[in-house]
Amino acid sequence: MIESLLPTRSARAIVGWSIVAAILVLLWVLVDNNYYLRLLISAGIAMIGVIPFGLLMGHMGYMAMGQGGFIGVGAYVVGCLTVQRFEIDIWAALPIAIMVVGALAYAFSFALFRLRGYHFSIGTLALGQLLYLAFDSWEWATGGPHGTSGIPRPAIGEFVFATNSRFLIIVSVFVFLAGFTSWWLARGHVGRALNAIRQDEDLAGARGLDVLRYKQLIFTFAAVWAGLAGGLYGSMQISIDPSSFTIWGSFQYVIYVIIGGAGTLLGPVIGVIFITVLDQLIADVGVWNQMILGALIVITVLFFRGGLWGGIRMLWALALKNRSADRSAVSTQAGAAE
């Protein structure tokens, strides 16, 4: 019924991702606790990076393990340009950070895409570690082990997004943009190319598909959004250091996609929400925290091949099927009674 009122798939996508962003804004209205507002901002920033990453890992089938490094590059470029070495406005620093991350990802993609499977994953893991070492040692740009502090919040004129409630508005807008641009790529020929690469990239190449170009496109696209997420993270935290951009940050992105559902755009969003809530519920269990998380990943892989979002869709389809069967039974009984 609702879909019939929307003229195009584009309109439905705009409405869908607007709803995701609006939920964050609605929570901003309802939540008055500063701690939970920061939690919402952190979840939103994770969504900005992980939704495009879902195209790389889920749609194309390449599990990159270096996204934490790209997040760090985005954060440190913003920090360097705004406070560490220069005093550029953050609205100018963010696009520069995006371009730096994009150029870096594209440059490394030539070497990385000589690899496949777990070799590619190990290669990106090494890249993430290399970037981490750069953050820790390049004191001129990053501040070294002590990091960078004093990163400003964005402002429009004299209106500064200084409070967490205001900053959440900016994050919500970028969540919408990340979701919509990812959907726009996935729905067209790029999405079909990614599926062909995932199924058999040798066959896709033999049929004339420029496999390397599409792989580089999506790798760079995911890295660019990770860089933006890093810039926003630095602004949220105000102070950053290398410990925020370890290999664990890259693992988290993979976990979000696996738990939420690879191959779907909403799956990573569900993964971020689920892991964020779970972290709060098991925060006091100490070492068991990671064990519980690992057990959930194993359970998801074994029993929910489509992740949580796939499970939700399966249950919804089953409910609709049962409802349709009940209606058919009622109609049959009514016909027999007549």
Q: What are the domain boundaries of the chain?
A: 2-290, 304-338
Each residue's pLDDT tens digit, 56-78? 999 999 999 999 999 999 999 99
Of the candidates 48, 54, 65, the one whose C-alpha atom is nearest the C-alpha of residue 251 is 65
Rounded to whole angstroms, the Cα distance separating 301 from 296 reads: 9
Within the chain, which residues score under 50 in pLDDT? 1-7
**Amino acid, res. 260:** G
Alpha carbon dihedral 152, 154, 183, 13, in 10-degree steps, equals 140
Both tokens assigned to 114: 């000589």
Rounded to whole angstroms, the Cα distance separating 49 from 54 reads: 9
Rounded to whole angstroms, the Cα distance separating 137 from 139 reads: 6
The predicted pLDDT at position 300 comes to 78
Length of the chain: 338
Each residue's pLDDT tens digit, 136-176? 999 999 999 999 999 999 999 889 999 888 898 899 899 98
Q: Which residues pair with 160 in a beta bridge?
A: 155
Of the candidates 106, 110, 81, the one whose C-alpha atom is nearest the C-alpha of residue 94 is 81
Phi/psi at 13 (5° precision): -65, -40
The predicted pLDDT at position 130 comes to 96
The predicted pLDDT at position 334 comes to 57
Q: Which residues pair with 148 in a beta bridge?
A: 240
Task: Kindly give, in sequence order, each residue whose CB lies less than 8 Å from that of residue 17, ignoring residues fewer than 6 positions away.
Answer: 175, 176, 179, 180, 183
The predicted pLDDT at position 187 comes to 87
Hey, what CATH topology would domain 2-290 get? ABC transporter involved in vitamin B12 uptake, BtuC (1.10.3470)
The predicted pLDDT at position 5 comes to 40
Rounded to whole angstroms, the Cα distance separating 20 from 176 reads: 7
The predicted pLDDT at position 322 comes to 75
The predicted pLDDT at position 1 comes to 39
